Amino acid sequence: MKKILILLLILFSISQVFSDEEHNNKSNAKSKNKYYKIARSLYRKPFGETLCIPFIWLGNLTDDEKDKFDPSNEQEPKDLDQQRRFNLTNWSQISLNYFTTNAKHDINMVTGASQEAESINTKGKFGLKYQHELTGKISEEFSYDVKEEIFYSEKSHERRNSFLTNNLKLSLFYKQETTYLRLQFNNRYYNPDETNFLNLPGVVYNTQQQMTSSAILHLKQDFGKLSLNVYSNLRDLEYRYVVPLEENNDEYEVHQASDYDSYTDAKLFFKIADHMKVFGRMYYKDDLNELSLFDQMNLGGGFEYDNKIDLFSSIKAKVQYYNNISDKINNEQDHNFVTQLRYSRRFRNGISGFVSYINRSCYDNETSQIYRVSNMLRIHAMYSYSIENLNNSYLLSGIKYNPENEGTLGFIEQNQYLFKDIYSTVNIKYSLDLFTSYSLKFEYFLNSLQSFWIKNEYTDFYNIQKQNLIYFGSTFIF
C-alpha cells in the first residue's frame, strides 16, 4: 500500500494542472479550436472512422453552417501566435483501483506459475494506472507523439501477466501532400518480481517476460496512379526461463535469453478507376534466432474499393488472396482468401452506424476443397442527443458475431448528461462463451478539458471467477 501512495503522490505532482481563471479562458479557447478540428475531421473522413467521437454532428447543421467547416473555405487565423501555442498538447489520466474476486485460494487461478502464488488471496487489492500523451509540431511537415502508461497492482487473482509494467511509445511523423512517414520506438518493461511465468509459443520451458522493444518504420508514398505502403517492425524480447534439474525435478535453474524477430509488410497499389485499386502484397517474418524455426512469407494480391458517396455515407470493400510459405503451417492453410465489406451511414437526426463483414477461407490443393476459417459480422448504431451541453449524450449499441473463434459479443452503452456538468456512463457487455460485464461511471467536468470520475466494473468469467474493480480517476488536457 505504501508503494501505491508514493506512486500516487509522484504522478499527481506530474499531472496536476490546477490553474487560475486566465488558464481556464485559454482552455476554453483551445476547446473551441479542438471542436472545430473534430468537425473538419468528420467532414473529411467517412463516419466509420469517427463513430466514437460524439462531439459535433454535421447532419444537424444547415448548408451555410457546413460551409464553415469546409477546409477550402478556411481563413487564415488572425492570431498566429495563439495557434502556435496550441501545437503542444498534453493529455494525462490517473486512476486508483480496488480489485476484489470470489476466486479460491488456488495456484491454478493465477496466470502462470509464480513463486509468490501462495501469498495471493481473495482479499481486496489496490492498483494504480497512469497514462500520459504529449503531442506537438516541430514544423508544418514534422510532428511527434510521446505516450506512456504505468501500471501497478498488488498481486491478486486479477487475470494479468504482470502487476508492474511501464509501456513507452515514441513517434516521429513526416507528412506531406504525397508522403507519410512514421518512425516509432516501443518499449514495455516488466518488473521481474511482479511478473508471472507463462508458456510462450516456440519456447519449451516456462518463461518470464522482462522487456519487449520494437523499432517501427511505416511509409506511404503516392506516385499518382501508383502508391506504395511499407510497414517494417524489428522486435526484441528479453526474458528468463526455468529448467528443472535432472537429478531433482523440484529444483530449477534460471536462464537469461533473448528472442529477435523482424516483420515487413509491403503493398503496391495501382488505381484502375475512381474508388478502385488493385494491389500486390508481400509479407515476410524473419525469425532472427539461431534455428529460424518460425520464418514465414506471404505472397498475394487483390483489389480495394473505397467510395465516400457523400457527407453522410461511405462503402468499402476488399478482396485478397495470399499464399503462406512456411514449414510450420499446415498444407491446407497454404492458400488463403479474405473478403471484407463495410457500409457506414449518418442521418440528420443524430443517428449513425456501420455494418461490416469479414470472411476468411483457405484452400487445400490435395483435396480441392475450400475450408471456412472464420466469419465476423459487426453492427454498430449510435444515437446522439442533447448536444447543447458541454459534451453530448448518446446511446451506442453493437454486436459482433464470430462463432468460429468464440468471439460473439454484444454491448450497449449510454452516456447521459445529468446536471451541472455531471455525466453518467452505463455499459453492458455480453459474450456468449467468455464473460458478462457491467460498468457504471460518473464523471464531473471542471471544463471541457478537465474531469474527475469514479467507475465500477463487475465481470463474470463463466465457471472461472467473478471480479469487481472500482476506479477513482481524473483526466486532464492542457
Mean pLDDT of 192-202: 75
| Domain locations in the chain as residue ranges | 94-273
Ranges of beta strands (E only) in 223-331 are 226-244, 252-273, 276-287, 296-307, 313-325
Q: What is the pLDDT of residue 243?
A: 81
Q: What is the pLDDT of residue 106?
A: 44
Q: What is the DSSP letter of 107?
A: G
- All residues at 6 or more sequence positions from 455 whose CB lies less than 8 Å from its CB, including other chains: 439, 440, 441, 442, 470, 471, 473
Say if residue 179's pLDDT is above 60. Answer: yes
* Residue-wise burial string across 428-437, b where 16 or more C-beta atoms lie within 10 A, e elsewhere: ebebeebbbb
Q: What is the pLDDT of residue 18?
A: 36
Say if residue 59's pLDDT is above 50. Answer: no
The CATH class given to the 94-273 domain equals: mainly beta
Considering only residues 370 and 336, tell me which one the structure prediction assigns the higher pLDDT. Answer: 336
* Tens-place pLDDT, residues 141-172: 999 999 999 999 887 767 777 889 999 999 99
What is the Rg, in whole angstroms, of the alpha carbon atoms belonging to the chain?
25
Considering only residues 58 and 388, tell me which one the structure prediction assigns the higher pLDDT. Answer: 388
Mean pLDDT of 120-139: 86
Considering only residues 39 and 129, tell me which one the structure prediction assigns the higher pLDDT. Answer: 129
Say if residue 255's pLDDT is above 50. Answer: yes
* Tens-place pLDDT, residues 221-245: 999 999 999 999 999 988 888 887 7
* Tens-place pLDDT, residues 92-124: 999 999 988 876 644 443 443 344 444 555 678
Matching residue, cell 520464418: 295
Say if residue 419's pLDDT is above 60. Answer: yes
Interatomic CA distance for residues 369 and 146, integer angstroms? 49
* Tens-place pLDDT, residues 364-411: 777 777 887 889 999 999 999 877 777 889 999 999 999 888 889 999
* Tens-place pLDDT, residues 3-47: 544 454 444 444 443 333 333 443 343 333 333 333 323 323 333
Share of the chain above pLDDT 90, in %: 45
* Tens-place pLDDT, residues 280-330: 999 999 877 666 677 888 999 999 999 999 989 999 999 999 988 877 777
Interatomic CA distance for residues 55 and 36, integer angstroms? 10
Considering only residues 309 and 250, tell me which one the structure prediction assigns the higher pLDDT. Answer: 309
**Helix, strand or coil, per DSSP, at residue 457:** strand
Interatomic CA distance for residues 42 and 40, integer angstroms? 5
Matching residue, cell 502487476: 163
* Residues 312, 347 contacting (CB under 8 angstroms): yes
- 277 band by pLDDT with thresholds 50, 70 and 90: very high
* Residues 150, 130 contacting (CB under 8 angstroms): yes
Closest by Cα among 164, 153, 159 to 109: 159
| Average pLDDT along the chain | 78
